């Protein structure tokens, strides 16, 4: 598999001065390419190639596999059954609520003012960025 690096890294990898790497690039003695304004050198040109590319969405592997109830062990079924918790159930216990209520109003944490302050610092994207 190719290994594309900048010339200074190639020089360090090969143990030669960067001037020699640049000279070899000028004479076409090493494989190189320019991408996004960077010159890159292949430090492993004789390694095996791996073909890459785009595949059709239908050829993409599944991101999950459905779980069939028949394939579960008894222990797995018991673990999945668990105690059902309502969606709107509080995530803290009564001791937490009492401890927070015992605090003075100025000692309580409220995330809303911080959220408002952060939202005031947001900047909308510029029109030139949206067009790109």
Task: Write the pLDDT tens digit of every residue in 57-68.
Answer: 777 777 777 777
| Residue 75 located in a structural domain | no
Which domain covers residue 8, as residue numbers? 4-42
**Higher-pLDDT residue of 9, 54:** 9
Cα distance between residue 36 and residue 39, in whole Å: 9
| Residue 14 located in a structural domain | yes
pTM of the model: 0.37
| Residue 16 located in a structural domain | yes
**Mean of all residue pLDDT scores within the chain:** 77
| Residue 49 located in a structural domain | no
Cα distance between residue 119 and residue 105, in whole Å: 24
Mean of the pLDDT values across residues 77-105? Answer: 67
Q: How many domains does the chain have?
A: 1
| Residue 29 located in a structural domain | yes
pLDDT at position 91 over 70: no
| Residue 59 located in a structural domain | no
């Amino acid at each position: 598999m190719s290994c594309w690096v900048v010339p200074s890294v190639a020089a360090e990898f090969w143990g030669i001065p960067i001037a020699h790497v640049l000279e070899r690039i000028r004479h076409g003695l090493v494989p190189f390419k320019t991408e996004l304004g960077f010159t890159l050198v292949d430090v492993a040109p004789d390694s095996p190639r791996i073909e890459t590319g785009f595949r059709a969405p239908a050829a993409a592997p599944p991101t999950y596999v459905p779980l069939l109830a028949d394939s579960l062990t008894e222990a797995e079924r018991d673990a999945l059954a668990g105690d059902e918790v309502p969606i709107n159930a509080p995530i803290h216990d009564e001791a937490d609520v009492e401890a927070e209520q015992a605090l003075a109003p100025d000692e309580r944490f409220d995330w809303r003012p911080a959220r408002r302050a952060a939202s005031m610092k947001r900047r909308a994207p510029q029109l030139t960025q949206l067009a790109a």
